[in-house]
Amino acid sequence: MNIVSALQAEYPGGLVIVYDGECPFCASYVQVLKLRESAGPVHLVDARARPVLAGMLRESGYDLNQGMAALYGGRIYYGAECVHMLALLSTESGAFNRINSAVFRSRALSRVLYPVLRCGRNFTLRLMGRKKLPE
């Protein structure tokens, strides 16, 4: 069974976001992000609490130490493409969502900024003494 089929079987319909629950940026981002009702049910999955799922994603080429992943519409979105897609699905209610939408609705800007954000995340996790997800 491939990762898309496995996620669809476990979380039918809607949107599945898989992120590092020990990363303060990732956890805050997925909690604050307000998504349009058209996205359907939103399932937030902490990769640290689901190591088998995280391993399946890694084996499919999605390293959650390097980016979050989301399943939507039968497709996996990863890293910069993931935050771009989430920005397209988000509402513009609240300052955070307006800024997120303005910045990450641009695919090009998402590709440029995402590596910077990932670097900041990795540096912060090291400062906090938190380990990367198992490889």
Side chain identity, residue 18: V
- Binned at pLDDT 50, 70 and 90, residue 17 comes out as very high
Side chain identity, residue 19: Y
Percent with pLDDT over 70 in the chain? 98
What is the chain's alpha carbon radius of gyration, rounded to the nearest angstrom?
14
From CA 61, how far away is CA 38, in angstroms rounded?
Answer: 28
**Nearest residue to 45 (alpha-carbon basis) of 79, 20, 76:** 20
What does the pLDDT average to over 106-131?
90
Secondary structure class of 67 (helix, strand, coil) = coil
pTM beyond 0.85, yes or no: yes
Whole-number pLDDT of residue 85: 93
